[in-house]
Amino acid sequence: MTSTSPEPQTDTAMPLIDDCWNRIGVRGDASCERLTLHIDCRNCPLHARAAAELLDRLQIDDVGGSWFEQTLARTQEQAEEPRQTAADMRSLLLFRIGEEWLALPTTLLEEITELRSVHRLPHRQNAIVLGITNIRGALVTCVSLAAMLGISGNPQATARQQLLRRMLIIRHNGQTTAFTADEVHGTLRIAASAQQALPTTLTRAAGHFTHAVIHWNGHSVGLLDQELLFHTLDRSLA
């Protein structure tokens, strides 16, 4: 009598995707060393690779009712969060100019890019308007937010500090503007209740353009008044 050994069982469970952005990235404790280079996890190739793998898995017809259902359940749970909680949250772009940490609504952000060459405009002497720069084939006005806010720069910046500098492209009411930040943290979601009124003793350089402050990582971050900011920019461009 011939005995047949049982066929070896194959582990068909799919390996977990490492959601490092939720642990050490912008949604975690921001301790990932790659953030210095990529600023935001969405710019990192690891994030793109995980997104591609996720899409590949979603295309699988037979997933055994396990991984896909669990993923779908988590997505539905997130979608069913109380609406008042989502309404209470704001997404901010945090960046530093000089020694000042500042924030603008993320909805204004078009792009974060490496520093670009700026071509001065002829017959214009203006400390705020630096000139124009080429962003993906379009000419964009480049301004000095430091000059407008009265923030002193650091002429003795180290090589590492120079590497942190980025050009931010923002858009408001159809107007696209570029400015340089000495460091960009990325985006941060905060509750509206986390905003605090300006102290009467505020002496920070950007105080005139700041309508509230938040506390983040031991820093006092000024929330810029976007309407006043762009109104001043319009006057500088006139």
pLDDT at 92: 92
Q: Distance (Å, rounded) from C-alpha 7 to C-alpha 192?
A: 59
pLDDT at 8: 47
pLDDT at 70: 52
| pTM strictly above 0.75 | no
CATH number for 87-237: choose from 1.10.1370.30, 3.40.50.11540, 3.40.50.450, 2.40.50.180.
Answer: 2.40.50.180
For residue 17, give Cα distances in angstroms to 10, 12, 49, 128. Answer: 20, 15, 10, 46
pLDDT at 40: 72
pLDDT in tens, 78-137: 555 555 455 678 899 999 998 899 999 999 999 999 999 999 887 766 888 999 999 988
pLDDT at 34: 81
**Amino acid letter, 181:** A
What are the residue ranges of CATH 2.40.50.180 in the chain?
87-237
Residue 178's CB: how many other CB atoms inside 10 A? 24
Q: Distance (Å, rounded) from C-alpha 222 to C-alpha 211?
A: 8
DSSP assignment of the chain equals ----PPPPPP--PPPPP--HHHHTSTTTT---TTHHHHSSGGGSHHHHHHHHHHHHHHT-S--TTTHHHHHHHHHHHHHTS-HHHHHTEEEEEEEEETTEEEEEEGGGEEEEE-----BPPTT---SSEEEEEEETTEEEEEE-HHHHHT----TT--HHHHHT-EEEEEEETTEEEEEEESEEEEEEEEEGGG-BPPPTT---TTGGGEEEEEEETTEEEEEE-HHHHHHHHHHHH-
Listed as ranges, residues in the chain with pLDDT below 50 are 1, 5, 8-12, 58-68, 84
